[in-house]
Structure 1
C-alpha cells in the first residue's frame, strides 16, 4: 500500500523537492536538471537517457526561441544608446505642469522602453539611475518615487516585444504574433491605471509629488519643447513600428522581427554616437550570459517536464484540481493564485518553465482560450518582479538608489502598484475581449 502511494505521488514528491531546493538557494538550472535526472533514474532506470537527448535537441533547435537572444541583444543595446536619458528629460518637461507630472513621465517612458527593449532589469536600472535622484531632488515622496520606477520598469514584461511572451507562446503552443497583439491592450490598461493612481495620489497628497517651479519651465519655449519631443520620441517609435508593425502586418515572424529590431537598436546607438567596440563587446557578453541562463534553465525544465509527464504527473495534478467543486472560474482563480504566490519566491523564468507546463493544460482542458490564458499568466508573472522578498525589480532598484533610500521605502512604494496589478488582472479576467479583440481585428483569429 505504501509502495503504491509512493509511486502514485512520486511526481508531487519531485515537484516538492524542486521547490524546497530553490527556496534553500540552490542554482535554478542545476536544481531543476539535477532533480529531474535523479527522479528519472528512479522512475525509468537508465533507459531514461535514451529519451532525454531527443527532447533536448528538439527544444534547442526550435526556430521560434531564436527570438530570445535577438530581443535580449536589442534591449541591452538600447540600454547603452542613451535613449532612455533623452526620453526621461523630455517627457518630464511635457508633463511638468501637472501635479505628479515627473512620476507620470517615468511611467510613460517605462512603457516606451518596455515596448523597445522587453528587458526588465535593463529598464529598471537605467530609469533608477536617471529618475530617482531627479525625483528626490524635486522633493517627491521616497516610496512614491521607488514604487513608480520599479513598477514602470516591469511594463516590459507585458508590453510586446516581451521575452516572457516568447517563452509562454512556445510552451503553450500559442502563436507569438497573436500573443504580441493580444498583450497590447492589457499593457495599455496597466499604464493607464498607473498614471491614474499617480494623478489621484498627487492631488490627495500634493506634498508627495510637487510640480516643477514655473520659472524653470519658462526657460524653454514651446517650439523648443516640440522639437525636443519629436527628437526624443521618433527613434523609439520608429523601432517599435518596425518590430511590432512587421509582426502585426504579417510581413515578418517574431524571430525575423527580432533580428530587424537588433539591427535597428544598433543603428540608433550609432546615431547617438555611443557605438564603439567596447560597447559592442559589453552588449554581446551580456546577451550571451542572459541567453545561456535562459536556455540552461529551459534544458533543465524540459528534462523535468519529460520526467513529470512520464510519471503521469500531469494526470495526477489534473485529476486533483478538476476534482475541486469550484467550476472553471474557481479553478482559474486557484491557478492564478498559485502563480501569484510562487512569484513571491521564484523568478518569472522559473515559474514559466516549472508551473505553466503543469497548470496551463488543465485550464485549456476546461475550454479556456489559450491566448487569453497566456496573457493572464504574463500579467500575473509581472507581479513576481514586484513582490517581496525576492522581487528582482526591487533588487535592481536598490542597487542603484542613493544611500538614503532604504529597502523598506521600496517595499512600501510597490504595495499600491501590486494592488493595481491585481486590479488589472481582474479586469482582463472579467473582460477577455481586452485580449482577444485586437488579434481578431488585425489577424482575423
Structure 2
C-alpha cells in the first residue's frame, strides 16, 4: 500500500477541505503529515523539505504576483464606492423596455465589472443584491434571473484583468520552462501575464455574445420569462449614460492598454488601475470634484507625454525643450498628487477606503497563504512519486494527446466543485500541465481552455462557488433549486465556448501572436 501514498495524500486533502478546515492550513498540514509518514516508511527523502525556504523566497520576490493585491484593491474600491450599483441602475433603465432588456444590462454590466475588478465573489454578490430584486419585481422568472446574474458575475474569471489569469500565467510559465528543460533545452522561453490577458479577450467576448444571443432568443420565444420593465423607469439622459459608462471603460482601456501595448508591466498597470479606481470613488463621493477631474486629466496627459517624449532630469546635457518638458511633467505630477489626496480624504470620510483595504488584505492573505502551502504540498507530492504517476497516467490515456487533455479538463472540472481556482491552479496544474505541453499542446491555448473550464465549474451544481455566493445574496423567495436550474443553460453555453476554443485555437492565440 505504501506505493499509493501519493494517492492517499491527495484523498486526505480532499477530505480535510470537505470537513471545513481552512484551506491553506489543510494543504500545509496534510503535506507535513505525509512528509513524515513517507520518511518513517522510508519512501521519501525528508531533506526535500529544505527547499521550502527557497519556494517562500521565490513567491515573495515574484514580480508577477505583486499585481494581485493591487488589482484586488482596484476592484474593492469600485465595489465599496457603489460605482457598480450606479452602473447597474443606469444600464437597467437604458435597456429595461426591451424583452430581456434587464438581462442584457446585467450581462453588459457584468462584463464591465469583470474587466474593472476581476473579483468573482464581489461581482456576484453585488449584482445579486442590486439587480436580482429589480428583475424579480419586473416579472422575470426566478430561474432565468438567477442564471443570468450568476453567470454574468462569473465573467471575472476569464475577462482580464483576472486574478485567475495572473496566477495561471505564473503557473503555466513555470510549467512551460520545466517542459523545455525536460526536452533538453536550456535556453528557455518564458510566458508573460500580458500574453494570457491578450489570449483571454476574444474567448471572453465570445462567451458574452453567446449569453446575449441566448437572452434575446429566449425573450423572443418565451416573453413571459423576461418581460419589459415597468414604464415607471425613466430613461437615463445621455449625460447619465456617459457618466456611468465612460469612467470604467477608460479605466479598462488604460490598464489593459498599458499591459498589451508593452508600456507597463502588469504590476505597474495594476497600480495605475488602483489609483484610477480611487479617483473614480472620489468623484462618486462628490467632494473636490473639480480638483479630482483636473488631476485625472493631468495623469492621462502625463502618461501620454512621458511615453512620447521621455525626459531624464539627472542628465547634464538637456536642452531647453527637455527642461521645459521636465518642468511640465513635475507640475502635472503635483496636480495629480493633490487630486489623489483629495480623493483619499473624501473616501476616508465615507469609510470607503477602510472597507476596501480590509477586503483587499483578507483576499490577498488567503491567496498567498494558499500558494505558500501549495508549494510545500507539491514538494511532498513529488517526493512521494506523485509526479511520475501523473505523467504515466496521462501517457497511457487512450486517444493520445487529445485524450489526455480531455481527461485533464474533466478532472479539473470536477475538482472545481470542491476547490477554489487558487488551490487548483497551484496544486493540480503544475502536475498535469508539463506532460500536456510535452505532448505538443500550445501552453497559451491550453491555459485559456483551463481558465474557461474553471469558470464553468464555478457555475456547476451542486458545489459551484458562484451558486453559494448568489445564495447568500439572493432574496429569500428565490430557492436554491431555482438557482441551480437557472444556470444549466449557461453551462451549455460555456461548453460551446470551450468547444470553439478547442476547434479554433486561433481564437485564443491570434491576439498574443500579433502583440507579442
Aligned equivalent of 2:439: 366
> Which residue of 2 is the match for residue 113 of structure 1?
113
Find the counterpart in structure 2 of residue 32 from structure 1: 27
Q: Is the contact between residue 79 and residue 122 of structure 1 (CA under 8 Å) also seen in structure 2?
A: yes
Deviations 1:243-265 (A, max 9, x none): 10100110001111111111111
Is 1:386 aligned to 2:459, yes or no? Answer: yes
The structural deviation recorded for 1:241 is: 0.9
In structure 2, C-alpha distance between the alignment counterparts of 1:56 and 1:133, rounded to whole Å: 45
Give the C-alpha shift of residue 36 in structure 1.
1.1
Q: Which moved more, 1:255-264 or 1:32-41?
A: 32-41
The secondary structure found in structure 1 opposite 2:21 is: coil
Q: CA deviation at 1:24?
A: 2.8
Per the TM alignment, residue 45 of structure 1 is displaced from its structure 2 partner at its CA by 5.5
Structure 1 CA distance for aligned equivalents of residues 423 and 54 of structure 2: 22
User: What is the CA distance between 1:202 and its match in structure 2?
Assistant: 1.2
Moved segments of 4+, more than 3 Å: 43-46
Instruction: After TM superposition, give the deviation of residue 420 of structure 1 in Å.
Output: 1.1
- Matches of 2:112 and 2:10 in 1, distance apart? 38
Provide the residue aligned with 2:145 in structure 1.
145
Paired residue secondary structure (1:385): helix
Q: CA deviation at 1:230?
A: 1.1
**1:19 pairs with 2:14:** yes
**TM-score, reference length from structure 1:** 0.94
1:30-63: CA deviation from partner (whole Å, max 9, x where unpaired): 1111111122232445534422212222122211
Worse-superposed segment, 35-44 or 244-253 = 35-44
Q: Secondary structure at the match of 2:10?
A: helix
- 1:296-375, aligned counterparts within 5 Å? 296-375=369-448
Aligned to 2:176: none
Displacement after TM superposition at 1:312 (Å): 3.1
Contact 1:124 1:393 in 2 (8 A): yes
TM-fit CA distance, 1:87: 1.4
CA contact (8 A) 2:158 2:455 kept: yes
- Measured against aligned partners, the alpha-carbon deviations of 1:269-302 in whole angstroms (never above 9, x if no partner) come to 0110172252211111111111111111101111
**What is aligned with 1:134?**
134
Please say if residues 49 and 376 of structure 2, whose CA atoms lie closer than 8 Å, have aligned partners that are also in contact.
Answer: no
Q: Give the corresponding residue for 2:227.
A: 210
Q: Which residues of structure 1 form unaligned runs of 5+?
A: none
The 1-side partners of 2:268 and 2:382 are apart by 33
Does the 8 A contact of 2:49 with 2:379 survive in 1?
no
- The residue matched to 2:66 in structure 1 has which SS? helix
RMSD, aligned α-carbons: 1.6
* Distance in 2 separating the partners of 1:46 and 1:433: 45
2:212 and 2:226 map into 1 onto residues whose CA distance is 13
Confirm whether residue 255 of structure 1 aligns to residue 267 of structure 2. yes
Mapped to 2, the partners of 1:49 and 1:313 lie a distance apart of 16
- 2:85 equivalent to 1:85: yes
- What does residue 366 of structure 2 align with? 293
Distance 1:11 1:169 in 2: 26
Give the structure with higher Rg (CA).
2
**Equivalent residue number for residue 55 of structure 2:** 55
Residue 11 of structure 1 and its aligned partner are, at CA, apart by: 2.0
Residues 67-78 of structure 1: pairs in structure 2 closer than 5 A: 67-78=67-78
1:276 aligned counterpart, secondary structure: helix
Between 164-173 and 49-58, the greater mean CA deviation after superposition: 49-58
Equivalent-residue separation in structure 1 for 2:216 and 2:228 (angstroms): 12
Residue 150 of structure 1 deviates from its aligned partner by 0.5
Q: Do the aligned residues in 2 keep the contact of 1:65 with 1:166 (CA within 8 Å)?
A: yes
Give distance in 1, aligned partners of 2:85 and 2:27: 39
Q: CA deviation at 1:76?
A: 0.6
- Matched with 2:160 is 160
- Deviation digits for residues 86-107 of structure 1, max 9, x if unmatched? 2112222332342101101100
Query: Residues 177 and 254 of structure 1 are in contact (CA less than 8 Å); yes or no, is this contact kept in structure 2?
Result: yes
Distance 1:316 1:327 in 2: 17
> In the alignment, is the contact (CA less than 8 A) between 2:48 and 2:379 conserved in 1?
no
Residue 439 in structure 1 maps to residue 516 in structure 2: no
* Whole-angstrom CA distance in 2 between matches of 1:57 and 1:345: 29
Partners of 2:207 and 2:497 within 8 A in 1: yes
Residues 40 and 48, structure 1, Cα contact 8 Å, conserved in 2: no
Q: Distance in 1 between matches of 2:471 and 2:389?
A: 42
CA deviation after TM superposition for structure 1 residue 325, in Å: 2.4
Matches within 5 A, 1:234-245: 234-245=246-257
Kept in 2, the 8 Å contact 1:33–1:300? The answer is yes
Gaps of 5+ in 2: 174-190, 286-345
> What is the rounded CA distance, in whole Å, between the counterparts of 2:116 and 2:89 in structure 1?
18
Q: TM-score, normalised by structure 2?
A: 0.81
| Equivalent of 1:276 in 334, 341, 348 | 348
**Secondary structure in 1 matching 2:376:** helix
For residues 216 and 23 of structure 1, what CA distance do their matches in structure 2 show? 48
- Which string of whole-angstrom CA distances, capped at 9 and with x for unpartnered residues, describes residues 119-162 of structure 1? 01111111111111110110000001111001000000000000
